[in-house]
């Protein structure tokens, strides 16, 4: 077996200990006589997995009791439509901050349901920063303010929680959830696909303040109606049972690593090293303004794009995979989520220096 360092943006690398445990429990989970994949989602064994999943997430994120935690399908992209359907509550407007490709998509889908007030945009600067708060437009008649806390493609991350002037704050945390401690009580709704920093694809986490739900119009599909799913413990229909189990294993691994605060310290150290290596080199460049550089997704462009192909194939020869940047940005991107060990970042930095020396 030769596992590589996998810098994919998502689905992304998983802790090896989690994969090994899943392998060990593949044929029989505890004393159930069957694989998790084969269990009824209504049975007593799966009930344990589901309860621990929710309680572990609640404790890792210190989620207050007045928030519902939902485990849905449809991806974070599905939420781009389900959020306006569930949260507009008779209002006709919602505020959005546009800082990259993912907030662009969220805005585009929201426009099918309401008028989008563009609170701020960094599109003219090619999404290389978060616009200064002084210029933000917040319409207090809007139903909520939406932002993407980490732009996975452009590598732009908010370092502070935006001031929403009293509007419920909605955040797409797909690519930085559990990478740093947050105060959930500052949010109306947090959502994330699991395949970046929480497990495999197939589960979408929605954490929502309970007073915001229960106002969706009848046209909202029941399985994407937060109040209906909350009433049914996210089991209005058959959930992605095996994926719940795997996310649960990742959460237990994270607890074993010291939780989110300990993980943040490691993430700071990993990102700082990599940005320092990029900034000190003559070959690599990161276009994002320093205060907004993502700790999770680090894009970098080679001074000569004719070297891109050689870089990628040499990287693979060194066991460093999935470094090709998103087609809309070009260059390279290293995603260094919780599960990427510091040794993987060190190996990447050493390879980059060697490639620069020989090119």
Ligand X SMILES: *Cc1c(COP(=O)(O)O)cnc(C)c1O
Active site residues: 102, 172, 196
Question: Per rule CB under 6 A, is residue 294 in the interface with ligand X?
Answer: no
**Closest CB 77 distance from ligand X, rounded Å:** 3
Site for ligand X (CB under 6 A): which residue of 5, 6, 7, 10? 10
Tell me the residue nearest to ligand X as measured from the CB: 75
Q: Catalogue the E-assigned strands of the chain.
A: 5-6, 67-72, 93-98, 115-121, 145-148, 150-151, 156-157, 169-172, 189-193, 204-209, 284-285, 297-302, 320-321, 332-335
CA–CA separation, 338 and 319 (whole Å): 19
**290 DSSP assignment:** G
Residue 298 · residue 275 · CB < 8 Å: yes
Neighbours of 209 (CB within 10 A): 18
Residue 192 has phi, psi (to 5 degrees) of -165, 135
Site string for ligand X, 74-113 (x = CB under 6 A): -xxx------------------------x-----------
In the complex, the smallest distance separating the C-beta of residue 222 from ligand X, rounded to whole angstroms, is 20
With CB under 6 A as the contact rule, the residue among 193, 199, 331, 344 that binds ligand X is: 193
Answer for which of 152, 220, 229, 267 binds ligand X (CB under 6 A) is: 152
Report the residue from 68, 98, 180, 196 that binds ligand X according to the rule CB under 6 A. Answer: 196
Of 226 and 351, the one with the shorter C-beta distance to ligand X is 226
Work out the widest C-alpha separation in the chain, in whole angstroms.
63
Among 56, 157, 172, 322, binds ligand X (CB under 6 A): 172
Among the residue ranges 44-52, 57-65, 170-178, 210-218, the one whose residues contact ligand X (CB under 6 A): 170-178
Length, in residues, of the chain: 359
Cα Rg of the chain (Å, integer): 21
Least Å distance between CB 74 and ligand X? 7
Q: Six-digit token pair at 273?
A: 């090293």
Binding site for ligand X (CB under 6 A): 10, 75-77, 102, 148, 152, 172, 174-175, 193, 196
């Amino acid at each position: 077996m030769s596992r590589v360092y996998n810098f994919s943006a998502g689905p992304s690398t998983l802790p090896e200990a989690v994969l090994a445990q899943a392998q060990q429990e593949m044929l029989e989970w505890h004393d159930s006589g069957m694989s998790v994949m084969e269990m009824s989602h209504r049975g007593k064994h799966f009930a344990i997995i589901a309860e621990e999943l929710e309680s572990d997430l609640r404790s890792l994120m210190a989620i207050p009791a007045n928030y519902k935690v939902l485990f849905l399908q449809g991806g974070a992209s599905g939420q781009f439509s389900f959020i306006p359907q569930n949260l507009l509550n008779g209002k006709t407007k919602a505020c959005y901050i546009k800082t990259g490709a993912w907030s662009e998509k969220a805005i585009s889908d929201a426009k099918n349901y309401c008028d989008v007030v563009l609170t701020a945009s960094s599109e003219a600067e090619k999404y290389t920063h978060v616009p200064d708060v002084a210029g933000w437009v917040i319409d207090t008649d809007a139903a909520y303010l939406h932002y993407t806390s980490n732009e996975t493609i452009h590598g732009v991350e908010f370092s502070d929680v935006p001031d929403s002037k009293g509007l419920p704050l909605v955040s797409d945390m797909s690519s930085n959830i559990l990478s740093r401690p947050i105060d959930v009580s500052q949010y109306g709704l947090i959502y994330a696909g699991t395949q970046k920093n929480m497990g495999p694809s197939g589960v979408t986490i929605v954490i929502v303040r309970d007073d915001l739900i229960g106002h969706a119009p009848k046209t909202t599909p029941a399985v994407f109606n937060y109040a209906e799913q909350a009433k049914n413990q996210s089991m209005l229909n058959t959930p992605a049972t095996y994926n719940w189990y795997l996310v649960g294993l990742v959460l237990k691994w994270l607890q074993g690593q010291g939780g989110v605060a300990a993980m943040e310290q490691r993430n700071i150290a990993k990102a700082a090293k990599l940005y320092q290596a990029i900034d000190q080199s003559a070959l690599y460049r990161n276009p994002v303004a320093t205060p907004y550089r993502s700790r999770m997704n680090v894009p970098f462009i080679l001074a000569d794009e004719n070297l891109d192909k050689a870089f990628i194939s040499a990287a693979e020869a060194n066991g460093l995979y999935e470094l090709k940047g998103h087609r809309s940005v070009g260059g390279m991107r290293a995603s260094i989520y919780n599960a990427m060990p510091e040794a993987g970042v060190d190996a990447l930095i050493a390879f980059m220096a060697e490639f620069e020396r020989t090119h």
